[in-house]
Amino acid sequence: MTLPSDRKTIFITGAGSGIGRATAKLFAERGWFVGLYDISAEGLVATQKLLPEGRHTSGVLDVRDREAWRNAVGQFADATRGRLNVLFNNAGVGRHGWFEDIAHDDSDWQIDVNLKGVVNGVYAALPLLRKTPGARIVNTASAAGLVGSPQLAVYSATKFAVRGLSEALDVEFSRYGVRVTCLMPSFIETPILDMPTGGRNTVLRDQIKATNAEVEPVEVAAEAAWKAAHGEAVHYTAGRMAQRLRTAARFFPNGLRKQLIASLPKD
């Protein structure tokens, strides 16, 4: 297959489920060629079945593995004649619970995937991005990167870091003509809501239900990813809760802190 010279391309991590899958479907339906990459081979097969024929390539990728990143980007370049319009650093993992109840290895895992995985992707893809006019990077952070989120402390820290990285690189890479933007979803209907709660036989979804917090369809995040790939801003929220948190963190930080303390579960 020869890719048409005018077809735009996107490389998506975490494409085997959730926001990655929904974004892949949306971009493919709008004419883009999509690179699907995920640690789950089964998830990739399921995503491929949703996409138009001839509009994708795929490969298993652990974003913690730098050599695997180099191989994946090389394979994508072969399929796209060396073009990469958007790198969507979307793979992410989490653990929910009191800080001291989260195993140290699980905290390392979150840092390695959510932050180091993004850094690895930028290093690996930058040469292709620099060669593609108007290219950009979209990094998935979270509403937990807008305000320090109790019982998601390390996860929240990684997402704050992704925000900061995105802001810094957007300025740095302006000398190459490469934009960097940041996607910040709130509670979206994805498998990450089933992250285990440290020290308990429950998952995050259980606490969300208990507090009647809003969970929005994954298509909301996919549309926000589309905006992040095309718009002029640096930060893009996905979901009404994320927008409310962004406003509260900016204008009412003390009130927000009091609300968070009041919302803590009582052991």
pLDDT score recorded for residue 201:
67
Assigned token pair, 169: 């690189």
Q: Is residue 3 part of a domain?
A: no
Q: Which residues of the chain have pLDDT under 70?
A: 1-2, 196, 198-203, 206, 208-212, 267
Q: Is residue 1 part of a domain?
A: no
Is 123 part of the annotated catalytic residue set?
Answer: no
Q: Is residue 67 part of a domain?
A: yes
pLDDT score recorded for residue 2:
67
Q: Is residue 2 part of a domain?
A: no
Neighbours of 84 (CB within 10 A): 25
CA distance 75 to 11: 11
Q: Is residue 60 part of a domain?
A: yes
CA distance 21 to 35: 11
CA distance 189 to 193: 7
Element (H, E) at 69: helix 66-80
Domain range for residue 26? 9-263
Chain-centroid distance of CA 267 in Å reads 32
Nearest to 143 by CA among 187, 111, 109: 187
Nearest to 142 by CA among 49, 15, 40, 246: 246
Active-site residue, from 37, 155, 176, 236: 155
Element (H, E) at 80: helix 66-80
CA distance 19 to 226: 11
Q: What is the DSSP letter of 52?
A: P
Neighbours of 48 (CB within 10 A): 19
Assigned token pair, 49: 């079945």
CATH number of the domain within which 78 lies: 3.40.50.720
Specify the amino acid at residue 209: K
Q: Assess contact for 90 and 19: CB atoms under 8 A.
A: yes
Q: Is residue 4 part of a domain?
A: no
Number of domains in the chain: 1
